[in-house]
Structure 1
Amino acid sequence: MAAIGILNLHKRRNAVDRIYRERLTLTNLRDTDIESRYRLDRESIVYLMRLIGGDIRKSGRGRSIDPETQVLVTLRYMAKGDFYSETGDVHGVSRSSVCRIIHNVVTSINKRLHNIRFPRTNEDILHTKVMFQRSCGLPNCLGAVDGTLVPIIAPKQNEEAFVSRTGCHALNVQAVADADMRFTDVVCRWTGASHDEMVFDNCGLKEHLEATNIGYLLGDSGYPLKPFLMTPYLHPGSPAEERFNKAHKRGRVVVERSFGVLKARFRCLSKSGGCLPFAPEKSANIILCCFKLHNLCLERGLPLPDISSDNDDSQTPGEFINECGRGGIQRRNELTQLFSR
């Protein structure tokens, strides 16, 4: 017994006291610093904390990490694309805690925040069409569709399928944006080698538009011409067709600008922020969360960030001359007639 007591005393003398680092809070940050570091303003962060607080509440044991710190850690990573160690050092948590926090918070936001909605009611459909017609002159348009590449770390399985045309491993994310740069539909489960046309052809939105005939989307020439998907003339042969192409470009550019704003806001999605160091499934969850936070920023009127010139990563358009159905040609001709005067 004496020997055991001496051994325990020796362990206590050689034990290293646990060091608790100071953690940032919203109360000791200026408003400008909050928006610069986390991309959201103070009120929006508080809103998120209330929205998901029940999912990520602290355990009550020792120095467990409070919901505010968890939200700040996640937003900081998505805004800057930092290494875990740097994000942890800023907020006084360990590298392993950062990894766990990010996925818990992202999962909760995706579960609780529902602000990516394609117009379904008559009121929403009419509003979307009116806003697009004001911006580009094309009636009955419900949005602009395109794909963007988000770099990820090379997956352990089926690696070659994720290699994009740029040579990096990525997910090809399809999104539809309205005239206000709000994302109304997002698909982020396809590999970087997947072509935009194939992604659209296998999404639920295509089936919905085809079945309901409520309007159409604008897409580049990488998509086939359909009654519900208008593409530009590859070789315009009249002034009316040229004017249609210009109007089409004014309408479609909104989705490219939306991607630019998204990646400028959340650098973890941009190649300037490296790549998402997660498996494809977890990367897709983070991507979806960033899209939802982008919409939240628009809803709350936060200023748009400067768009850098390194966001042009969409696939090179191809020519789908043989996939232009009669219905698509007829609808485009009818729209072109609006520009014949």
Structure 2
Amino acid sequence: MADNSMILAALENDDELLLLLNTEEREKSVLHKVNIDALNDEQFRSMFRFQREDMTRLSCALRLPTKVVCENRTVCSGMQGLCILIRRLAYPSRLEDLSHVFGRSKAELSYICNTVLNLIDSEHGHLLENLNQSWLAHNQLDEMVDSVRRCDAPLSNCWGFIDGTVRPICRPQENQRLVFNGHKRIHGLKFQSIVTPNGMIAHLFGPIEGRRHDAGMLRESGIETQMQRYMTTQNNEVYSVYGDPAYPISPYIIPPFRGGVITALQMRFNKKMSAVRVSVEWTFGKVLSLFAFLDYKKNQKLYLQPVGKYYRVAAILTNCHTILYGSETGKFFGLCPPTLDEYLS
């Protein structure tokens, strides 16, 4: 009480008193949090993209620590940290808005979000870089090839589809030309991904500068070297992916027929393969549908935020979502994804 009396005595007028009271009310409102346990299942999934029981399972499968300690000594549980990260990515909310959900300050939320983001990327980032995975074994690739064939695709050894995407970012103050994509007329970062018929993102390379061409991104990714090693059978038969005309032809990457004049048979090949290749766009769309924060370019500030890491971790979480709830791509090809433990092991 004495401290309050001294503060009130130091105020010169009623305006200063009103400002002080408003500041205190604002600080109190930040500490007020939503009772997450009181949310029903529909509300919980709308806020956090996963069902309540699956969120606990996901936290264990991601091997998040029971106690997450940030650089500034902020502490939270692994489950709460995952909820904070997913809610941050799920909608382009400000940290101030999330304060009302979790009852933590903006600084705490920022530290927790970045810490959990780094934990997931460092522990599971290799899942987007390495094709040497159990769910991509040759017997699994045979099932993928068969599922593509069943959709009347003429390519007999296609196990996936490769494509690049440009993610818009806020215009940076420096190096604007490096990230400007002349085709899309935006500033952005590029990613290259391979999507399999079961709806999974098998490989994701990036980010690189938005001005780069898909062929240059392919060369820099080194994905063909991996495919030569892991997508070749003992009989020297190869599994290939199908891409758009920007990619050079090779035994492992097949683009459509190009040229001003192509035969009717070649045109038929292009049309049928284009009908199944659209599945890669569905997966790009799912990442942004689940995590709309990535689709709001004013939030994607290159030198202030880990923009590329946001997208990489969102891709891992999208794969987990596909495993638990399926995807349009998997339904289209009639193929189930691997289990959560098989993918994250």
Change (3 A) 1:40 1:277: farther
Q: Is the 8 A contact 1:147 1:172 kept in 2?
A: yes
> Which amino acid in 2 is paired with 1:197?
A
> Which amino acid in 1 is paired with 2:221?
C
- Residue in 1 that maps onto 2:142: 126
- The alpha carbon displacement at 1:246 in A equals 1.6
Q: Is the 8 A contact 1:171 1:280 kept in 2?
A: no
Q: Does 1:106 align with 2:131?
A: no
Q: Does 1:193 align with 2:218?
A: no
Q: Does 1:208 align with 2:226?
A: yes
Aligned residue runs from structure 1 range 238-277, under 5 A: 238-271=263-296, 274-277=298-301
Change (3 A) 1:11 1:201: same
- Residue in 1 that maps onto 2:165: 148
Change (3 A) 1:241 1:57: same
Q: Is the 8 A contact 2:33 2:99 kept in 1?
A: no
- The alpha carbon displacement at 1:147 in A equals 0.9
Q: Is the 8 A contact 1:58 1:67 kept in 2?
A: no
Q: Does 1:81 align with 2:106?
A: no
Q: 1:22 aligns with which of 32, 36, 59?
A: 32
- Taking structure 2 as the reference length, the TM-score comes to 0.75
- Residue in 1 that maps onto 2:83: 72
Q: Percent identity?
A: 19
Q: Is the 8 A contact 2:199 2:327 kept in 1?
A: no
- The alpha carbon displacement at 1:54 in A equals 1.3
> Which amino acid in 1 is paired with 2:273?
H
Q: Is the 8 A contact 1:84 1:99 kept in 2?
A: yes
> Which amino acid in 2 is paired with 1:128?
M
Q: Is the 8 A contact 1:41 1:302 kept in 2?
A: no
- The alpha carbon displacement at 1:40 in A equals 1.7
RMSD: 3.2
- The alpha carbon displacement at 1:58 in A equals 5.9
Structure 1 stretches lacking a partner, 5+ long: 1-8, 306-341
> Which amino acid in 2 is paired with 1:129?
V
- Residue in 2 that maps onto 1:297: 321
Distance, in Å, in 2 between the alignment partners of 1:177 and 1:139 is 17
| 3-state DSSP of counterpart to 1:81 | coil
Q: Is the 8 A contact 1:35 1:41 kept in 2?
A: yes
| 3-state DSSP of counterpart to 2:211 | coil
- Residue in 2 that maps onto 1:158: 175
> Which amino acid in 2 is paired with 1:33?
Q
Q: 1:288 aligns with which of 300, 304, 312?
A: 312
Deviations 1:144-180 (A, max 9, x none): 1111112233445533211223333211011000112
- Residue in 2 that maps onto 1:225: 249
Distance, in Å, in 1 between the alignment partners of 2:284 and 2:195 is 9
- The alpha carbon displacement at 1:53 in A equals 3.9
Deviations 1:114-153 (A, max 9, x none): 6546365222322222222223342111211111112233
Q: Is the 8 A contact 1:125 1:142 kept in 2?
A: yes
Worse-superposed segment, 49-58 or 13-22? 13-22
Q: 1:96 aligns with which of 75, 92, 107?
A: 107
Deviations 1:42-86 (A, max 9, x none): 123212333444175368x99954444322221112111222222
Worse-superposed segment, 117-126 or 36-45? 117-126
Structure 2 stretches lacking a partner, 5+ long: 9-23, 233-237, 330-345
Moved over 6 A (4+): 15-18
Q: Is the 8 A contact 1:70 1:101 kept in 2?
A: yes
Q: Is the 8 A contact 2:160 2:241 kept in 1?
A: yes
| 3-state DSSP of counterpart to 2:146 | helix
- Taking structure 1 as the reference length, the TM-score comes to 0.75
- Residue in 2 that maps onto 1:316: none
Worse-superposed segment, 229-238 or 28-37? 229-238
| 3-state DSSP of counterpart to 2:33 | coil
- The alpha carbon displacement at 1:96 in A equals 1.9
- Residue in 2 that maps onto 1:39: 49
Q: Is the 8 A contact 2:200 2:319 kept in 1?
A: yes
Change (3 A) 1:236 1:105: farther
Q: 2:190 aligns with which of 156, 159, 172?
A: 172
Q: Is the 8 A contact 1:218 1:251 kept in 2?
A: no
